[in-house]
Structure formats: structure tokens, C-alpha cells
Amino acid sequence: MRRRGPRRALTHDEILDAALDLLDEGGPDAASVRGIAARVGVAPNAVYTYFPDKAAVVEGLVERLLGGVDHDVFADRERPWRERVEALALELRAQLSAHPGAVPLVIGGPMNGPNALALNERLLQLLVDAGLDPTDAARASYLLIVYVFGSIALEVADVHRAGPLPAEAERVAVRQAAFSATPADGFPRSAEAAATMAAYVSTEQYLWGLRRILAGITAQAATPEAPDPVDLPG
């Protein structure tokens, strides 16, 4: 009888590396437990030794990606708070855009691990430094997270294929070619705005929107006596 050799020892990092590679190559549906096991050369049950299910792998990936964010770019409280928020937003965009296949999983995954909590804590401190009270800081934090992650998700979805994102200039050029075909007689405003709409996926547009959100947050902090809108029924 042929004797089995010793089972290959794995690490959490090897499994997450394999999952991230599969996501980069095939998108969010590619990183199955069976696919991960094949990539690292083990049986699927070996993966379950380290992660009980795919949800746990996703949680690990979220932590891995958020753990790559450089806190030094936005942790210096001597810098103006807006600069620090912009630095964080650009850092998150760079980290997630490098792995577009993982973006849907990150957005839909749990954000309660140590790295996610550390980022949230930093962001809340930033907003308190801007003059917001704790409640408004928490609300503004959510607003910024929705904007940052939503913008990144739309950029990734715009490419319509798995794999690395093309260079920004290339993506804008493809969009420009599409929008330039808008018939001006039927859609004059859209045709006029074609170049601007083509650049929706650009860093310039990303910062444009972010800065206007920050301006609104600052205005709210400067006029705390302004009443909140009346709650809508239902």
C-alpha cells in the first residue's frame, strides 16, 4: 500500500495570498475554497483547518487589504485635518484599486476586524479634530466611507472585466470615445458634458467630490445651531 506523505503545512498568509491572486485574475467569484486549495496544492479540507468557511476567508482578505493602508499618511495631527482625510481617501483608493476583484467583497464584507476598527478610530479622531461633536463625527465618518468605497466600486464596475485596472488615462480615453458619440440633437446637455463625464473615474473627480463633502462637513461644524431636517414619515 502506498503511504501518504506528510500533509503540507500552510499559513494563513499563504491562503490569503492565493485567494487574492484568484480574485485579481478572475473577479469576486473566482476565490472558492476549492480554487484556493488547488492554487496552494492541498485538499480543500486543509484550507478549512485555517478558515472555517469562505466568509472567514473574505474577512481575512478585508483585514489584509485594510492592513496595507499606511497610517502615517494621515495620523499626524499637526497637519490640517482636510489634508489628512484626503491622504486617507487616496491611500484607500490605491490599496483597493490594486485588487479590483476584491472590491465587492470588501464592501460587502465585515468591517469589524482590528485593522478596520483602527482605521475607523483614526477617521473619527480626524473629524473631532475638525470641530465635530462625537455624534456628527460618526455620521460624517459614514458619509465619507460611503463616498470613498462607492466611488471605488463604480470605477471597478466601469471596466467590465476581471484583472488589474487599466491605467487611469486609458480608462478615461475609452469613456471619452463612448460619450463623444452622444447625439447632441437629442441629448444636448450630455453631449456638452461628455469630457467631464468621461473623467468621472479620474483622481481629479474623486478629489473634487471629496473636497465638497469636506466643505459641507466644515460648514455644518461651523453652524451647529442649524436645525436638522424633519424626519420623513415611514
Closest listed residue to residue 109, CA positions, set 159, 58, 34, 70: 58
In a domain? residue 58: no
In CATH, what number is assigned to the domain containing residue 158? 1.10.357.10
What is the predicted pLDDT for the residue at 5? Answer: 46
Average pLDDT, the chain: 88
In a domain? residue 51: no
Low-confidence spans in the chain with pLDDT less than 50: 1-3, 5-6
Going by C-beta distance under 8 Å and a sequence separation of 6 or more, which residues neighbour residue 90? 203, 206, 207
**Whole-angstrom Cα distance, residue 211 to residue 136?**
18
Helices 134-159 & 114-129 angle (0-180, nearest 10)? 120
In a domain? residue 43: no
Closest listed residue to residue 50, CA positions, set 80, 8, 6, 113: 8
In a domain? residue 21: no
**Whole-angstrom Cα distance, residue 63 to residue 103?**
13
In a domain? residue 198: yes
In a domain? residue 5: no
What is the predicted pLDDT for the residue at 222? Answer: 61
What is the total count of domains within the chain? 1
In a domain? residue 9: no
In a domain? residue 132: yes
Answer whether 210's CB lies under 8 Å from 86's CB.
Answer: yes
Residue 84 belongs to domain spanning? 70-221
